[in-house]
Structure 1
Amino acid sequence: MSNQRNIVVAVALSMLLLLGWEYAMNWVYPERNKPVAEQAAAPAKGADPTVAKRTREGGLQDAGDIAVEQRELAADLKSPARVKIQAPSLTGSINLHGALIDDLTLNDFRQTVDKDSGPVRMFSPLRTPAQHFAQFGWAPGAAGQMPNADTLWQADGTVLTPKTPVTLRWANGQGQTFAIRFAIDDDYLITATQTVANTGAGPIIAKPFALINRTDRTASADTWNVHSGPIGAFDGSVDFGNNYKDVAKTGTISPSGRADWIGFTDIYWLSALVPDARGKPDSDFRSLGNGLYRADLIYQPDTVPAGKQITRTTRLFAGAKESAVLDRYEAEGISNFGLAIDWGWFRWFERPIFLLLDKLFGLVGNFGVAIILLTVIIRGIMFPIAQKQFSSMAGMRAIQPKMKALQERYKDDKAKQQQEIMALYKKEGVNPLAGCLPILIQIPIFFALYKVLILTIEMRHQPFVLWIKDLSAPDPLHILNLFGALPYDVPGFLAIGPLALLLGVTMWLQFRLNPAAMDPIQQQMFALMPWVMMFVMAPFAAGLLLYWITSNVLTIAQQTYLYSRHPQLKEQAARDKADMAAKTAREKAEKAASKEAGK
């Protein structure tokens, strides 16, 4: 009993270590999840070192940064030197100083679950706290003056829409005219066609480029299973290997192979450049210092003869990583664009789960209900396996007396004992591992749903019922502060909400219906498991807990039904539990008597 108790205590301590490790690391290394620029420098006097930590969704976290951003945006966007952008999915403007696309918001996505929350801001102007923009131009050349960041372009229109492209023009006074024609579609793709016309006396050399410039202060958290940072497809292979710290450390990273597209990703958002299909541009990621980064496409120099013009076309994606939209762009020729969503190694399994869930949502209009229906479908598919599991359990219970006899007969020869037990399994046609099959099947399904909930923009801010406003986020209510009635925040590992409690209770009820384990250590483990899982799962997405709770409820119903089909199994389970309870009471009494005698 002492050894058994030690094992249980060791397991409990191991779980505590797993639960507390992340919080301990955040306490010891508070810089770990901060932007790279802040990791390299000490925080300002009086600054809170935790306010700038990256979150799941990203965006500015510091209240001071947010105030400065709002003030500078108001000033920058008042400038008359701007061309408005009005499209179904994007709203913003183009800055005629430097031909910068530096003002974009997403029309279909709010910053928070609040209905009056403003739209998600994708791009912000140069030198604002949330700096993020795209630029198209020509590198300085030896012959002829090229436009630069200070150039004031002239536009042939005032509003860019899907039906009204806008062209910016600038002449250098030396016989060359530069033009950038912008067109936008109904989603998130802006096409920039760069043209240089040479009416001078001799040839010139022009070197077009396109870039995306951004700060890491607004980046979402880069975790072991979801990439956030530099991203691109090179020679048909998507590269998730570099993060902001890698670029800051080396200064410049030049991926091998031709860029199919290159840019920066957050969990839900993507800004990427797609080069001209005819060109072979150089591409790289650069650190500009102070937490600023750049993704470059630099085309090979073009010789423009007198009286001729040369054109390059680059596309800019700036928007939400909607799976259907990315897949459509991929079908239209952007290689592996659908893989901008970091599905990981199990994409072959995760995408079907997502597509089924999305289809169910389209039918019922509520993602919580869709998750419940998905669980019902999965349990329905697994029902024949569960029947075999229970039949195997019945067979195992039927041969328990023979097993006990073999264990007694060969108690001093464990090898012979195991050999005889395996022979008994074969003779009786019983598979002791059959009961594990449903659990093994559930693991990939559970992981796939987990990835779908944390990855896909389609799940973001999707409500269920009552207090659950976002199925992709943890349960917002916590029992230990009386669901927000008490004025303090509950530490993450103690943030037990109603869904986590329901998970623990339903798992406990499910285990109560299972036949009692013969091993006392297993009994204690099964007794602890529901409550350990309650703590482990509490920080996970509410949709994931909803799936597991529904699965537990269906399993309880399924077990009840199958017990009615196998009454001998239910009776045996009841006898086993009674026997184990009597054995436990007897051991306690013997231990107490031994202790009393020792006095």
Structure 2
Amino acid sequence: MDNQRNLIIAVVLSAILLFGFDFVMRTYYPEPEEAPANMASREDAPVARVDGEITPDAPVVRDLDTELATTGRVAIDAPEIAGSINPVGARVDDITLKTHRQTVEEDSGPIRLFAPGGTDIQQFAQFGWVGEGVTVPDAQTPWQVVEGGELTQETPVTLAWDNGQGQEFRLTFRVDEHYMFDVTQSVANTGDGSIALRPYAFVSRTSANASPSTFTVHSGPIAEGNGSVNFDWDYEDVAEEGPVNLSGSTQWLGFTDIYWMSALVADDASAAEGTFRSTGADTFRADLIYDAVTVPAGETVSRTTRLFAGAKESAVLDQYEDQGVERFGLAIDWGWFRFIAWPMWQVLIFLFGLVGNFGVAIICLTLIIRLLLFPIAQKQFHSMAQMRAVQPKMKALQERYKDDKQQLQQEMAKLYKEEKVNPLAGCLPIFVQIPIFFALYKVLLLAIEMRHEPFFGWLRDLSAPDPATILNLFGLLPFDPPGFLAIGVLAVLLGFTMWLQFKLNPAAMDPMQQQIFMLMPWILMFVMAPFAAGLLLYWISNNILTLAQQWYLYSRNPELKAQMAKEREAKEREHERKKAEEG
């Protein structure tokens, strides 16, 4: 009866874990919903205020194709990005990434990062000034192209606007070989007296198409200032708490997804204030506002702000950091174990360049990690063998001092000292491995280089879940099973290899533990099924290498293997005896 009760408890707990995990993931970390085509967004137009605050206009609804078809747009054609600048408001509001596709299909088209304000996927950048007693350009200002015709890596473009009061405003755009714009804001004062202005720049975007922010990956506002990178705020926090004024000077700020980011980088020569704010209808702003500058009569004052709009490729971010953008590489949220994750990532990229297949690179990295941890595993195995050897003496002490717990503890400590056994030695190696495996999990989760990378056969994208699931007959039926029911080939292999591990390990002393251990591999099969194929490939490879390691260590310690087999037989006989008595 006890065994039946324990089995029922184990099944119930397993069901709670399985369904509870899916419920928590769907409730607190939902997949991003498809943005409705008629979603209203705010068109953000600045007004002149001495304090630099920028207020929005009323909501509008716009069609993407119609907006991009407007005449007079300044084309952008750089090595890795394409798009255009809208001369009305001088907005950078049309950017696609040439080297990243929407889906794994070759004809799926490039990733669209920026889109005009008022569209359902709006994201754009605007540069301007605020001031008092002087007319400044706003979102409706028609700028004129005065230098250049197409913005390329070799040819900058300059837009100009004259306010008719003795001030000419200019914006000069440059773009590099990757994802960085340099935007120089100039004011030439030909009037009679001095004027005071505050240059600003902002990025506006909708959160409707943002990647979900989870406890492992941040999505939303991001900023660098005062020597650290701030991941503290998400879209909901900003919407609920109002404008978020960042303390101290801000070096750069913007919005990040798992793979993409838009960020403004402040001029090195001046301090800037950073602010995040909600502008309604699921739209948000990252504002970078400089200190006020005085422009004397007959002089010109300039300020240069950089705009990053692209993919979070580790090598590219590090390159910009080397160019002076402080801590830009930390825009990838490596987490607490960055000191492990970053070197691990470098090794993975090196292996990928060596073997030419990201899946093979993951397997090679797993092998390297297992080899590095082999001395720890060997020590753990040796500790287990020692504990097995003193097991009969431990049982004798437990029987002798079963009514005197204090004396039992003293005798056990004496036994450990005499036999030179450390009962914690088998546990400590596990704690050493935890940060290593979590760091690798983060690496595979964040690496854009793994996006759309194939392994072989049906695995065409290691950053996506296994598409060949049992319920759709391994891809033959045209539908995707929901959530944890999408059990694919990799998930089955994961469960099977973990089950083999438990079978090879020493049998648990408690029948309840044995039943849980036998169920756990199949529970994890369901839990891990929705995760990226690359993560499952790593775990399967690790399980297989662990099995090989256990087989090798057992072959080096035949007496332990024989002892374990003897104990397992004794447990089975005891189980059969109790079963017969209950019957």
TM-score, normalisation: structure 1: 0.89
Alignment of 1:92-241 (within 5 A): 92-143=83-134, 145-155=135-145, 156-241=147-232
Structure 2 CA distance, aligned partners of 1:286 and 1:210?
14
Aligned to 1:17: 16
Distance 1:22 1:514 in 2: 27
Q: Does 2:577 correspond to 1:586? A: yes
1:258 counterpart residue number: 249
2:63 alignment partner, SS class: helix
Paired with 2:521 and 2:530, the residues of 1 have a C-alpha distance of 15
Question: In the TM superposition, what whole-angstrom CA distance separates every residue of 1:179-206 from its partner, at most 9, and x where no partner exists?
Answer: 1111111111100101111112222223
- Residues 1:433 and 2:424 aligned together: yes
Conserved? CA contact 2:18–2:523, under 8 Å: no
Equivalent residue in structure 2 for 1:401, among 388, 392, 395:
392
Find the residue that maps to 2:427 and give its secondary structure.
helix
Q: What per-residue deviation string (whole Å, max 9, x for no partner) do you get for residues 437-456 of structure 1? A: 44333322221121112222
Cα deviation for residue 526 of structure 1 reads 2.3
- Aligned pairs (5 A) from 1:404-553: 404-486=395-477, 489-553=480-544
Which residue does 1:559 correspond to in 2? 550
Q: Distance in 2 between matches of 1:245 and 1:221?
A: 12
The range that moved more, 412-421 or 282-291, is 412-421
Does structure 1 residue 54 correspond to structure 2 residue 45? no
SS of corresponding position for 1:358: helix
Distance 2:264 2:319 in 1: 16
1:366 is the counterpart of 2:354: no
| CA deviation after TM superposition for structure 1 residue 26, in Å | 7.6
Identity of aligned residues (%): 58
Letter in 2 for 1:19: L
Question: More deviation in 18-27 or 129-138?
Answer: 18-27
CA RMSD of aligned residues (A): 2.4
Determine the C-alpha separation between the residues in 2 that align with 1:358 and 1:522: 41
**Matches of 2:478 and 2:143 in 1, distance apart?**
55
The corresponding residue for 1:597 is none
Residue aligning to 1:46:
none
User: In the alignment, is the contact (CA less than 8 A) between 1:394 and 1:568 conserved in 2?
Assistant: no
Deviations along 1:32-68, one digit per CA (max 9) or x if unpaired, are: 668xxxxxxxxxxxxxxxxxx516xxxx4547779xx
**SS of the residue aligned with 2:269?**
coil
Among candidates 272, 281, 295, match of residue 290 of structure 1: 281
Q: Secondary structure at the match of 2:540?
A: helix
| C-alpha deviation, 1:223, in angstroms | 1.1
SS at match of 1:282: strand
Name the amino acid aligned to 2:18: L
| Distance (Å, rounded) in 1 between the aligned partners of 2:395 and 2:365 | 42
Partner of 2:74: 83
Match among 268, 289, 297 for residue 306 of structure 1? 297
Residues 528 and 536, structure 2, Cα contact 8 Å, conserved in 1: yes
Q: Secondary structure at the match of 1:159?
A: coil
Q: For residues 375 and 217 of structure 2, what CA distance do their matches in structure 1 show?
A: 35
* 1:570 to 2:553 alignment: no
Q: Point out where structure 1 has 5 or more consecutive residues left out of the alignment.
A: 35-52, 593-599
Amino acid at match of 1:590: E
Structure 2 counterpart of 1:54, one-letter code = P
Question: 1:426 & 1:303 partners in 2: Cα distance?
Answer: 79
Tell me the amino acid that sits aligned with residue 456 of structure 1.
A
Q: Which residue of 1 aligns with 2:270?
A: 279
C-alpha contact (below 8 Å) 2:131/2:196 kept by paired residues: no
Distance 1:200 1:265, change over 3 A: same
**CA distance in 1 between partners of 2:96 and 2:39 (Å):** 18
Distance in 2 separating the partners of 1:363 and 1:533 = 32
Contact 2:35 2:121 in 1 (8 A): no
Secondary structure, in 3 states, of the residue corresponding to 1:522? helix
Q: Deviations over 1:256-284 (max 9, x none)?
A: 11111111111111111111222223321
Contact residue 38 and residue 61 of structure 2 kept, 8 A: no
User: What is the deviation of 1:571?
Assistant: 1.1
SS of the residue 1:181 aligns to: strand
Whole-Å separation in 2 of the counterparts to 1:307 and 1:64 = 49
- C-alpha separation in 1, matches of 2:291 and 2:506: 72
Provide the residue aligned with 2:53 in structure 1.
none
Distance 2:37 2:571 in 1: 59
Q: 1:563 to 1:20 in 2, by over 3 A?
A: same
CA distance in 2 between counterparts of 1:16 and 1:444 reads 28
Q: What does 1:20-35 correspond to in 2, within 5 Å?
A: 20-21=19-20, 23-24=22-23
Structure 1 counterpart SS, 2:426: helix
Contact 2:61 2:118 in 1 (8 A): no
Distance 1:283 1:125 in 2: 23
What is the one-letter code of the residue matched to 1:512? K
Compare 472-481 and 545-554 and name the one that shifted more: 472-481
Q: Which amino acid aligns with 2:385?
A: A
> What is the Cα deviation at residue 7 of structure 1?
5.2
Q: Is the 8 A contact 1:85 1:159 kept in 2?
A: yes
The alpha-carbon distance between structure 1 residues 239 and 84, as it changes in their structure 2 partners (threshold 3 A), is same
Question: Any idea what SS the aligned residue of 2:236 has?
Answer: helix
Q: Is the 8 A contact 1:215 1:292 kept in 2?
A: yes
Cα distance between partner residues in 1 of 2:37 and 2:127:
33
| Partner SS for 1:434 | coil
The 2-side partners of 1:549 and 1:23 are apart by 22
**Normalised by the size of structure 2, how large is the TM-score?**
0.91
Number of the residue aligned with 1:42: none
